[in-house]
Amino acid sequence: MTATVRVELPAHLCRLASTSREVHVLLDGTVTQRAVLDALELAYPMLEGTIRDHTSKLRRPFLRFFACEKDVSHLSPDEPLPVKVSEGKEPFLIIGAIAGG
Amino acid sequence: MSRIRLLVGTRKGAFVLTSDGIRKDWSVSGPHFAGWEIYHLKGSPVAPDRLYASQTSGWFGQVVQRSDDGGVTWNAVGNKFVYDGDAGTHQWYDGTPHPWEFKRVWHLEPSLTCPDTVFAGAEDAALFRSIDGGDSWQELAGLRKHGTGPAWQPGAGGMCLHTILLDRANPQRIFIAISAAGAFRTDDGGLSWKPINRGLHSQYIPDPNAEVGHCVHHIAMHPARPDTLFMQKHWDVMRSDDAGESWKEISGNLPTDFGFVIDVHAHEPDTLYVVPIKSDSEHFPIDGQLRVYRSRSGGHEWEPLTRGLPQTNCYVNVLRDAMAIDSLDSCGVYFGTTGGQVYASPDAGETWQAIVHNLPSVLSVEVQTLS
């Protein structure tokens, strides 16, 4: 079954990808962080390297992932995301850490 | 009639300024890539509408942008910068080994002959090259691996490779500079490199013959005389007449020899420009007076250029890549400040005007002379 996952991007990445704040990616199989980010980068190749490292695929240090009001940044990238995300009822949020004065 | 295009990188985006050959009235386009730090933009000498830009962010990493219409539209190209093989370590500020980590591109230098070839100077210091218009990047690892790499240390701004000079007369020769490792030269297109720091003296390095460790801020060269190099070091303005084999101080009567920028007149290879900055702890002009200093004798003797520049209460800095010189008959000199002003002189420094006043802090200025 194909899931439509809503992904909310920070403003800088919207500008880079020339897209709106929320984008949709289509996924077959289990909806995980890795699957969402793989699909996102496939649809928007200019985002490669800006959310996670090109080679290690680790999340960049100043970014966090949220879903259903929970910080899921430290979950395994292969752990299923909440059902509401896979159902498209809640977005997967990519958020830049608040830093600076 | 000739046209001038200025490429201005700032802390919050890029701006493209254009004017006719009179260089009095300017149009401003931007911000491009709003909100991102644009460390450097530069155009290809052989295809002037081909521009490259280094777009970077502490949050989102490195992006390289390419334009094929003079900066009207842009496309993100390759941003995968991977050190060759086992990256190894350099020294951290406290002298302990620290792994090489890619942070950003400080400087992009398009080839003198091929619009698809471009060099990138990175932090942590390394030289990368693309031969496909920026789509992919390969490290010229001979620089980092020639032997002194493990002894390199970062300067206050990071361990950045910020200067890349290509030699029009000898395509195999490239000069680069790193804060705070020093200057290096290759004579075989980047395969092998040697430090060229003999004659540099830095207060914090006790060994007067230290091969590396000098905080070089910028180097300039006149294309018609590529063996002569002019350097603004952390402290000291220096000159080499043997392609960097040896250096002599030419600070002469400068009020302070600390600074970041240095550049050479387009038609007079012995006419130089610097912007003296008070000290390494006070990054602003002496007495709040913004003054460009010009030497017409290849150094030693300097004159202040002040007409049109603020002479009271000015406490801005001019960063290392933020000066450029056009090639019109009466050559134009341009520089940008951390206060967001870009100043232009259409008469080789005699008079100046601020052509924009309130940009974000300026990181780099490049100029293109277009026919």
Q: What is the DSSP letter of B200?
A: -
How is residue B243 written in tokens?
A: 């392609």
Task: Say if the Cβ atoms of B80 and A54 lie within 8 Å.
Answer: yes
Using left for φ > 0, alpha for ψ between -120 and 50, and beta otherwise, residue A68 falls in left
Encoded amino acid at B63, one letter:
V
Is B79 an interface residue toward A (CB < 8 Å)? yes
What distance in Å separates the CA atoms of residue B137 and residue B122, rounded to the nearest whole number?
12
What are the structural domain ranges in chain A?
A: 2-96
Q: For the domain with range A2-96, which CATH number is right: 3.30.70.330, 3.10.20.30, 3.40.50.300, 3.10.20.440?
A: 3.10.20.30
pLDDT in tens, B134-180: 999 999 999 999 999 999 999 888 999 999 999 999 999 999 999 99
Using a CB-CB cut-off of 8 Å, the residues of chain A touching B86 are: none
Q: Do residues B322 and B362 lie in contact, with contact meaning Cβ atoms separated by under 8 Å? A: yes
For residue A96, the model assigns a pLDDT of: 92
**Contact assignment for B59 to A96 by CB distance below 8 Å:** yes
DSSP-assigned beta bridge partners for residue B159: none
- The domain spans of chain B are 78-364
Going through B79-181 in order, the beta strands assigned E by DSSP cover 89-91, 97-99, 104-110, 118-123, 126-130, 138-139, 160-166, 174-179
CA distance A17 to A21: 10
What residues in chain B have per-residue pLDDT under 70? none
**pLDDT tens digits, chain A, 101 residues: what are they?**
799 999 999 999 999 999 999 999 999 999 999 999 999 999 999 999 999 999 999 999 999 999 999 999 999 999 999 999 999 999 999 999 876 55
- DSSP structural state of residue B151: G
A4 touches A26 (CB < 8 A): yes
The pLDDT of residue A29: 93
CATH number (2.102.10.10, 2.130.10.10, 2.40.50.100, 1.10.260.40) of B78-364 reads: 2.130.10.10
B99 touches chain A (CB under 8 A): no
Q: Is the pTM of this model over 0.90?
A: yes
Q: What is the pLDDT of residue A97?
A: 85
Q: How many Å lie between the alpha carbon of A85 and the closest alpha carbon of chain B?
A: 24
